[in-house]
Structure 1
Amino acid sequence: MMSSETPWDDIGSPKADFNVRKVAGTDAIPIFWGKNVQGNCLLIIELDGDHSTQFRNDVITLHGITVDLRNGEVPFKQRLILTLEKHVDRDLFFGLCKTLIASLVPVSDASVALSVVLVHIKRWKAFLAGRKLRLLSAEEIQGLFAELQFLRLLYTRRLSEIAALDAWCGIDSVHQDFIFGDTAVEIKSVSGRERNSVRISSEDQLESLSSNLFLMIYKLSDMPDSHHANSLNDIIRIIELELTDDKALETFSEKLSSFGYIPLPEYDTPRFVVSNSQCYQVSEGFPKLVRSRLPQGIARLSYEIKLESIKAYMCSDSLVLERS
């Protein structure tokens, strides 16, 4: 999945304590690569102040990685030490460490830094527990990106943060992507040659028990050089900064884990620009194939709808997004 070269390769094992090398660019919150006497790979994060209570309340136990908070040699400093045990894949640990470093570079407050680390460790734990040790496909990246676009709109224009996260059905849903109140919304993305039609992947996606069913389509363009483009990692970092409710942030992390997502460098591309979005109301006469109307014996179908054929069902996204 990743390169076999890691920063621990040229760090020797010490006779006592640690051998360390500072991570470049980590000045506000100093971070170090390290090895201990046993030769274990370490990531050491230096924190000003005493964070023992916060650590005890929020620490996550992670199979294969020891997370420990120790007092430093200098008064009023502590070290958060992540130690890789032998039965966890080294490259995956390197991926986690790079993610933590990238997340901590803009942080200057030690308490916030500890919270950020523990949130990422919790997501990593859920990822490993799900055993989805593979990269998301290009189609999965694009689909998740589109759902996150709608999630942002939902918590800024219609619902509270936690209500919006609860409405997001995630990967476990066999029906629509978002359900709240008496409204269901199916999210689709199109790009490149797909732009004239949208694929419906099951007979359940356009049939709902909710009174109001909408189809939201995002047109995405891969524009790596645009200042307005975002990768999957980018949009997730944006949402994490926007969420102010701790419970919402925790729920967001859990939902992402269900997709098998952790912020690996591989998700820094593609970089999308949303060139257009259009909402359709799936009302009487909308062209669709649904389970309740299929001939007996037919199941598990997918089909495409020509966008030209559903122009009459276009509606403003305010029907879905604006609060009553």
Structure 2
Amino acid sequence: MTEGNDGRHQTFASLDLLWQSGSPYVLPLSGSPWCEIRLDPQAHEVSLRTSYEQPEPDLARLSNVAFTTRVDGERDLAVISIHVDRSVQLAYGLLTEIADAVQLRNLALAAACSASVDRYRSVLSQRMSLSMHAEVGLFGELLVVEHLINTVGAEAAIGAWQGPLSEEHDFAFGDTHIEVKTTSTERREHVIAGLDQLVPVGEVPLLLLSVQITRASVETGSTLPGLVGRVRAAAAGHNTGLDERLSAAGWLIDDTDLYPTYWALRSAPRAYRVDEQFPAITTDRLGAVVPNFGLVSDVEYRVDVTALDHVELPSKLRGFGQTAQGEIQ
């Protein structure tokens, strides 16, 4: 960003003086369509106001930036606001860049925002949602947590949820370990990340819990934020441990609007015993047939368990899939 010196915009020095005064200030910009910049140091906010037009700019994935509309008398306004964490100069520079693109280059507001954001990414950070694969996986694990809270209690359920903490398996109980695999496909195809994910720990039996979910409606399903809210409400006084795991899984409370998809169970969950007959690729199995196996890394593979014989769900998960929020019809 270069410092304005043509009289159209404030210099860095004058902008800093206005900001340090602590008082709100309006800076009109001559040209068409109508535009003005507003400084609000007390709210740590700089905003651009201009005439509303469609299409609206897509700024939802940018943190510290908000797009709103409002009515001022008979005029419909578009308002782009930036929360100033550090540099008012960068926020002001981005908004004046947008205003210049609208007034001097005759760009539509949406196009002006897109072009200007590419130049001023240092003023904001990209909001990134979980990948669809990660969203589906977290949804499935939270369904299990929700069920376990009702069967073994919140403390035990959350304590057993070890997956987000980079432990060997998603859920660890003294008598059983459970690796939860969730898919949105019609077949029970699951991605296995690494050679140790399906290796039992000591003599403790390991089960793969296959969960199938599908896109649903607001009447029949739940969004990821909705499920997070339900589980947090059920966890009550144990939210500290729950929030630690959610954060480790990549969940951010400020990103709830990035997860609009409603999900519901597609079928009854099934459990598979991970034993000598299960098609798992492990270090021991691969090392026995691959020369110089120590040079192999980052192994990921898919396994389709649809046709495999499944076993009865463990007692802690008895009835999982028939709860009010995820009932299988």
Q: Alpha-carbon deviation of 1:231?
A: 0.7
* Residues in 2 aligned to 1:226 and 1:167: alpha-carbon distance in whole angstroms: 30
Aligned to 1:152: 146
* Residues in 1 aligned to 2:157 and 2:313: alpha-carbon distance in whole angstroms: 16
Partner residue of 2:276 out of 273, 281, 284: 284
Q: Alpha-carbon deviation of 1:150?
A: 0.8
Percent identity reads: 22
Aligned to 1:191: 184
Instruction: State the secondary structure of the residue aligned to 1:315.
Output: coil
* Residues in 2 aligned to 1:163 and 1:132: alpha-carbon distance in whole angstroms: 36
- TM-score, scaled to structure 2: 0.55
Partner residue of 1:214 out of 203, 207, 228: 207
Distance 1:88 1:174, change over 3 A: farther
**Paired residues for 1:22-101 under 5 Å:** 38-41=42-45, 86-87=85-86
Q: Alpha-carbon deviation of 1:151?
A: 0.9
Which sections of structure 1, spanning at least 5 residues, go unmatched?
A: 1-12, 19-34, 42-63, 65-83, 92-130
* Residues in 1 aligned to 2:298 and 2:264: alpha-carbon distance in whole angstroms: 32
Which sections of structure 2, spanning at least 5 residues, go unmatched?
A: 1-18, 25-38, 46-63, 65-82, 92-124, 288-292, 319-329
Q: Alpha-carbon deviation of 1:291?
A: 1.7
8 Å CA contact 2:130–2:251 kept in 1: the answer is yes
Aligned to 1:169: 162
8 Å CA contact 1:222–1:273 kept in 2: the answer is yes
- TM-score, scaled to structure 1: 0.56
Asked whether 1:231 is paired with 2:235, we answer no
Distance 1:221 1:250, change over 3 A: same
CA deviations on 1:88-118 (whole Å, 9 max, x unpaired) are 9999xxxxxxxxxxxxxxxxxxxxxxxxxxx
Q: Alpha-carbon deviation of 1:254?
A: 1.5
* Residues in 2 aligned to 1:321 and 1:258: alpha-carbon distance in whole angstroms: 24
Higher relative contact order (CA 8 A, sep 6+): 1
Q: Alpha-carbon deviation of 1:165?
A: 1.1
Instruction: State the secondary structure of the residue aligned to 1:273.
Output: strand
CA deviations on 1:40-79 (whole Å, 9 max, x unpaired) are 25xxxxxxxxxxxxxxxxxxxxxx9xxxxxxxxxxxxxxx
Instruction: State the secondary structure of the residue aligned to 2:206.
Output: strand
* Residues in 1 aligned to 2:157 and 2:126: alpha-carbon distance in whole angstroms: 25
CA deviations on 1:229-285 (whole Å, 9 max, x unpaired) are 11100100111221232xx11111111111221132434421101122111122332
Q: Alpha-carbon deviation of 1:215?
A: 0.6
Asked whether 1:273 is paired with 2:268, we answer no
CA deviations on 1:165-184 (whole Å, 9 max, x unpaired) are 12111334252111121321
Partner residue of 1:307 out of 305, 308, 311: 305
* Residues in 1 aligned to 2:22 and 2:300: alpha-carbon distance in whole angstroms: 62
- Structure 1 runs, 4 residues or longer, greater than 4 Å off: 15-18, 88-91
Q: In angstroms, what is the RMSD of aligned CA positions?
A: 3.5
Aligned to 1:140: 134
* Residues in 2 aligned to 1:220 and 1:278: alpha-carbon distance in whole angstroms: 13
CA deviations on 1:196-238 (whole Å, 9 max, x unpaired) are 4222122111102151111111111112x25121110010011
The code of the aligned residue for 1:188 comes to: K
8 Å CA contact 2:191–2:302 kept in 1: the answer is yes
